[in-house]
Structure 1
């Protein structure tokens, strides 16, 4: 079983089950490649703009075997987008086939921490994520150097030491 996700700059989605994740899905027998399957899923979940923005082999970042909830391999892709492209995706996502069914909406990942040490990225990391989406998010932030390592470490620590 092959499964893939896309990391687009700093955007995730709220899923139908209330968990955060990346757009993606299963490879279908009609898909000629991982990238074809991913582009099909992006079109279904994020809308028609992905007819012009194609994910390619160059966007591949990593793979991870998983045992639960079912055996499979998750392939992680990252595509850097311009702010205008991200805004277009956010607007057109409402017309996506799966909007309101699988995808409840898009969410921008805060790439900052507020002065209180918790607001922003640390609070975001305390949310409920599907599968290995949280580890993939952190991997993407690190490898794309979107956030300095010490800020990532502080955010992880703060998200695990919440005091309500």
Structure 2
């Protein structure tokens, strides 16, 4: 995969119409909670278990009839997470990065991140059970543990050993660092521990 960046809402030089467009979003919220009353959660980040058993982010392919990338992403979110997704409406300002894939099919992907309140995020989680694609395309939402337990393996290192779709794992790590959800040194330690 070759990475392509766009500086704002209007991509400059972008692959042609033979490429499908896909948009995904990392939804996150600050959290004051502690696991077992002692391990700070700090932030909640949502991913989903997909129909193929892999972890990925909410979103999907943009329909050519969608008026914009963000409109396509918001339509996908409504299908996958239910009607309460209005609180998480994604805009051009939530854009983070783009990527291009040539094989097995031609796809240009767009990645977004949206900060919510913990209450909004919990509303989304509850509403996702009644979403159109729940139990079909999406098997359920998953909270990413952003901490490492005392054993050095539990938490984020163990989570990173899962099977992710496409470049979702790389997108997760990039976003956790760039958004400051996990300190860079702790993120590097978790990645290293996940490989051991």
Name the counterpart of 2:26: 7
Establish whether residue 145 from structure 1 lines up as the match of residue 180 from structure 2: yes
TM-score (norm 2): 0.80
Cα-to-partner distance string for 1:96-137 (whole Å, 9 max, x where unaligned): 000000000000001100000010000000000000000000
Establish whether residue 28 from structure 1 lines up as the match of residue 47 from structure 2: no
Structure 1 Cα separation of the partners of residues 130 and 172 of structure 2: 26
Name the counterpart of 1:67: 102
Structure number, greater radius of gyration: 2
Establish whether residue 118 from structure 1 lines up as the match of residue 153 from structure 2: yes
Structure 2 Cα separation of the partners of residues 100 and 33 of structure 1: 28
| 1:69, distance to aligned residue in structure 2 (A) | 3.4
| 1:74, distance to aligned residue in structure 2 (A) | 1.1
Establish whether residue 80 from structure 1 lines up as the match of residue 115 from structure 2: yes
Q: Which stretch of structure 1 is more off in the superposition, 63-72 or 14-23?
A: 63-72
Equivalent of 1:96 in 131, 145, 170:
131
Structure 1 Cα separation of the partners of residues 49 and 158 of structure 2: 16
**Which is strand-richer, 1 or 2?**
2
Specify every segment of 5 or more residues in structure 1 that has no aligned partner in the other structure, as ranges: none
Report the secondary structure of 2:121's partner residue: helix
**Which is helix-richer, 1 or 2?**
1
| 1:30, distance to aligned residue in structure 2 (A) | 1.4
Number of aligned positions between the proteins: 161
Structure 1 Cα separation of the partners of residues 146 and 86 of structure 2: 28
| 1:68, distance to aligned residue in structure 2 (A) | 3.4
Moved over 6 A (4+): none
Q: Is the 8 A contact 2:25 2:59 kept in 1?
A: yes
